[in-house]
Structure 1
Amino acid sequence: MKSSVLTNLVLKPFNWLRKIRGLKLVYTPLLAIVLFTLVMGIILGTLQLQDKGQQEAALFRELSFAKQRIQLRFSNNTESLNTINREIAASSDDMKLKQLVREQSNDLVQNNQEIVKIIWLDADSSRVWSVPISNPKSDWIGKHQNDQAINEALSSAIELSRVTNRTSFSQFISLDFAGSQPVAKDRRTVFWQVAPNIVGGQAIGFLAALYTTQGILDVIPAELKAHYRFTLLSDNDRVLAISSDRNTPKRAFSNQTSLDIGVLSPNIVLRIDTYPPPTDLTFRMLIGVVLGLSVFVIWSLWSVLKQMQVRQEAEANLRTETSFRNAMENSTPVGIRAHDMQKRITYVNRAFCEMTGWTAKELIGLTPPFPFWPDSKRDELVEKMNRVLRSEIDLKNGIEGSIMRRDGTMIQTRTFIAPLINEKGKQTGWVTSLIDISEPKKIREELAASQERFITVLEGLDAAVSVVDLENDKLLFANRFYRENFGDDSKGHFMLAGNADDLQTLHDVAEDLQDSPPGIPTSFLYQESESEEIQLSDGSNKWYEVRHRFIPWVDGRLAQLLIATDISVRKEAEELSRQQEERMQFTSRLTTMGEMASSLAHELNQPLSAISNYCMGVAKRLEGNSDPAVTKEILPALEKASEQAHRAGTIIQRIRGFVKRSEPQRKSTTIAEIINDAVGLVEIEAHRHRLAITSNIADNLPTVDIDPVLILQVLVNLLKNGLDSTREAYPLSSRWSAPPVAISADLDTSIFPAMLRIQVSDGGAGIPESVSERMFEPFFSTKSDGMGMGLNICRSIIESHHGRLWAVNRMDQEQTKLSGCTFTILLPLVSPEATEAMGAKENI
């Protein structure tokens, strides 16, 4: 008895410990489920409150946007009505402007769905005209019995506008439609907006626009009306218009605001109601799912509690090992499969299944021949597999082969095989791993084909391509053209690349890069030089256009790539073209001289006549009178005769200098003198055709090194073309309004270095696009008596000065038609010869 009591006393604490441990295992997950349920409830409630706040904020934002759209539309409409009023005031005597005003009013009605009619009333409130004349949008107005209400509302709005001299609005008019009319629903409520036309403080008329409240809602975007219901209300909560008849749920959110469309407008309230999604069902389903999952987990815990204690340790170890092995196998793109001693597949990883397109369940248990082997190679693969398993084939580098996916596509693989040894050291099978080499093999094949194509293209080029190692001057690559013309060494490369000093510099750069840290600076590479034209000094007199750049060779060495194109034929053609252009320039000068002969004769006739008259007067006075006082009267006449003779001589000297043929000779010249001479030569012809020439020369322009005779020829030609264009655009009767032909000179500082800019602008009809594409071509002319060489020679002269010449059409202020053309000349401030001379002095 005592022993049993002692036993109970000793075992009782251990029993309590076991119970506490069991309770801990049971109630800990239960407590976690309860806490999880509470947290989920709090989160769902918080989300619901947050969603409600977001919906209210979005509702207010969309209401503000809709209000802004409506206010902006009314503001634009009011501005349009005031604009039309100004046009009406200006079109009192002009029928064309009156018609334009009606068209503007009609466009306003057609482009604004809220306006159905616009009426113009005179100062006595009598209707003068209305728009649109016939339009389904407004025809319904005359088809109901509400004319009296509409006219009364219009009269009251006009009177209010007359008193205040401001835009006013009428009260809302509820229309009563007879029968079922299609517009009855959309335009049941209307109102007038009246804009007075004030001239000199008095109203000369009123412009009235009839609005529909339903049309105001059409200003709101359709996507907003699809998610919200918009309602227009009056002060007494009377519904003026509604965007949808669909009812909103009881828990829908709403908000409203006053529109304030005008100072003298009735108060309109815009209300917005939401169509919230059915979130209640979703929320309840989430709560049900959470509770259901909690109950299910509690029940599951009770069912697995007994087995948990026994299997916990074993499962933990197995889970760790399995996770490690799965992570290894799933992280590798290598396909792995295992075979037993009967060659049956016992295991495949995920990569192998993805590689073949077969699932693990379909592959495990299969024996050779396998379904992923190509049908045409199954016997060969069975034999090869037997030889591999008997170790008759060296597996150091693997076996290259191919497998067929389930969809029939082939992939190239490399297979490695290793024996599978168990814990007792006995072989139980084999493990094979497959690597997909389709893409690398395809890339290698494409690279080989690309290299072959590249070499073929280089060999077929009619240009010398060579690559030279800058460390040892060794020729690394040369195409066919280079080998045929320069041999198999690098002499031709350096002969084309530059002189011996440049070669030594390249050697020094290569040595510095070799001593520097690994890698060639990218800033040094890929800097392609400007193309150079080089004439060989080997007696062949061939010309080559040469480009070269530095590149890293395949082994990392610095190399120079050179491409030389034979341009001997082009240089010969350019020389022939230059000679031809010189002859054409002389012909053009003679032609221009012939055209100006009549003008010069007229100009010279006046000073020569004056000289003759003054001389005759002197002779008559000297015949009969030798008084000394006569001498005082004779001297002024002689001075005037001398001035006129000097003027005639100056004009003749200009013509002789212009016609005289000479080689281009550059000299430091002031561009203002050339422009003044050109204007003086052409101004005679301009006055004869009742046209004018203006010049605008910037101050402090530097002198430029140019051939003044050639540049004068260019400016005279461009001025004459401008006069011809203006003369064709303006007949003789209207040339008093023709703009003058303008010539200007300044510095263009938008480019570097700055250049001298000369522009000749005319007010003619511009140059058609078809002509502008060819106007600089030789022998192309739009004149019946033109040779087509003027502009071509002008461009040749400018380009011989290393400048540019181009033409740009100008548009009128409305940007609807051409209003003239501007020829622009850019000339360098310093000639290339002077630049080279300065560089030579600095080198010395």
Structure 2
Amino acid sequence: MKKQIRVSQWVLGPLRWIRKIRGFRIVYTPLLAIVIFTAVMGIILGTLQLQEKNQQEAALFRELVFAKQRIQLRFSNNTDSLLIMSRDIASSGDDGKVRSNVLQQAEALLGNAHEISKLLWINKNNEVQWVAQANRNKRDLILSDINGSDQGNRIKEALRKTINISHATGQPAYSQFIVLNDPEGEKASSDTKVVFWQVIPIFGGNENLGEIAVLYTAQGILDMIPAELKAQYRFTLVTDNERILAISSDRTTPKRSFSNQTSLDIGVLSPNLTLRIDTYPAPTNLTFRMLVGVVLGLSAFVIWSLWSVLKQMQVRQEAEANLKLETNFRNAMEDSTPVGIRGHDMDGRITYVNKAFCEMTGWQEKNLIGLKPPFPFWPDDKKTAQEEQMNLALDPQNHDAMRSGIRGIIVRHDGTPIDTRTFIAPLVNEKGIQTGWVTSVIDITDSTKAREELAASQERFITVLEGLDAAVSVVSIETGALLFANRFYRERFGNDSKGHFDLVGGEMAHHAMQELTEESGDRNPGIPPSALYQESESEEIQPSDESGKWYEVRRRFIPWIDEHMAQLLIATDITVRKEADELSRQQEEKMQFTSRLTTMGEMASSLAHELNQPLSAISNYCMGVVKRLQGAGDSDMSREILPALEKASEQAIRAGTIIQRIRGFVKRSEPQREMTSITEIINDAVGLLEIEANRHRLSIVSSIAENLPEVPVDPVLILQVLVNLLKNALDSVREAYPSSSRWSAPPVKIAADLDTSTFPAMLRIQVSDTGGGIAESVIDRMFEPFFSTKAEGMGMGLNICRSIIESHHGRLWAKNQMDPERTKLAGCAFTILLPLESEVNRETENERNSQTKPS
């Protein structure tokens, strides 16, 4: 009986407390709601008033900052304009046009900047050069008539002090504020005008050339503020000692107005200004209707909130039921799949494992949850490597691991290794935030063994084919795709079937193969005809690529593993044999060239001997005529004819000298070198070809560096080389430009300077034109004997030029030039490099230096 009483007390005690709590909730809940509502109303009223006040103060501060920024920007722009005018004045010197332009800039600045009343240019002697003044109203006109008055003296004294400050600092400076009275002598706040100077120094190098002085008005500073702001707020300019300089409106503000102020930093050495803003705030009392509306709104909001809570509870219960169903379905699906599934947090700690993973590893769920890498089911000797691999796979940027997975090894609890492939996906919560990772582990031990056996068998077969020094390829006849290619084929033709078709005759051969197989298939469906398996005879084929290789090709048709017809091709490189045949042919041609050169040398020697006598006679006849004319005493005739006859005699002698040099060159004699100025040789070459150039409406321009040293060359032979190169350049330009437009053609250029990129330095001569350039197929053979692109040419000019330069131990080559867009050829440049001293002098100098070295 006592036990039953104790049990009843234990059961009835909590029930009594539950009834008390329920009664308390029923009785005191409305009262608590009223108290909360009253407190909320008070808080709302105070918050609204405070918020409104803060909004007005914030708006006032924004407008003040906007006005400050506008004023500072205007002063910065004015200073930049004045600095530009000071630099123009410093660089103009005595140029009156530039000074007139500066004055126009000053007047334009005064037209735009209403805060500037006057602008002066003062020279270094403190003399006013010119004055630019804005005549906007009567008040500004008064400022122009202050000379001689007390106000004028105060303004001049302030200007003088500001100039001294600018001189001392080397920067723009501002003066103190100057208060001007009304012209009638009455001083009133509405008629008082405050001005100050800004001085911009003018420097020419390190010399002070004067100043630009600008007279600002304090009222003009307030004019920078937009009119709509001044209509809503009152702006005041005050100094540090609270002295008012300018005010935008004379209206007084009530006690409840809001006010704010900020400092105006308009320059490095500027007067201290403070911008103050005042406003008239709107009334902030809340009406009874507003209060009623708030109460009704809150009541409606409470009812709506209760209804929303009920609906939300229903939705939540439905979501919980769906979630439970989804969870049961997921658990059933995870238990039925053979794929092991793990869950990890962002630190890699295991947060979930399914039944299949536990069976795969032999570990229980309680032993795996909470583990961090390295895991106990990893091999001991590969834990570090697999941990690094896992960290790399868990990187959100590593998308390859998510798509293709990562291979690894898992050791079962009994020590048996398992090959696995793991796929990774991010785990995202309902807020779209990643909270971890989900990994799926698949056992690939059996498939890995099968693949390894197949790979070993294929590797043996591929090794044999890869070791062949012939290209082996198989191409599908239906699709034209490359089915197989060995190493030799890939190195020569790439990884597509283009090289295969190049070796068998191109796409036309492919279409022919398709038609042949279709016809044979119609005759013998399912069984390829025996003719298709016969191997073709070998052919020597050169593909259409740029390699220039020759191949001996054998091909046949074979059935591929998918029972479709394919073509097998074996191509052996026979380029070495072809090159040997070509080399033999070239040797025969060179023997023919040598024979022609020998014959030409004999003819040149005979011509030189035969031409020397008539050239000597021409020179003697010219000199005889010269002496006869000199003895006749006719000064007009001597002045007009004698120079021409003397030049004719000189050219005849020069022609004979050239012939002698060429004859000696043909006989392989050394050039007759002497220390010669290359400038004279270039001038002679230009002078010889100027007449021909002018005849074709062309021109030649020479560019010779100063102080070029003399070089040991044969001047006649070098002159002959330059004449030949210049003539070729003129011909190239003449062919590129029609006769009607040659007057606008660029000139042929010849330049000479030192090439210091080589050691020792060499003399560089360059002849360049803007013709059509030289084709790449020609530029490699243009120096060969008997090779010419001209119908009337013998093909020996450039060959002789290179031989002359090489006999001087120099170099001669040609290079095409491109247009600025690098789309087509735009001329050619021939470059000559000549040593600055002969080989004999260099060897003597080396011997002398070796003898002077200490033993």
TM norm structure 2: 0.34
- The structure, 1 or 2, with the larger RCO (C-alpha pairs under 8 Å, 6+ apart) is 1
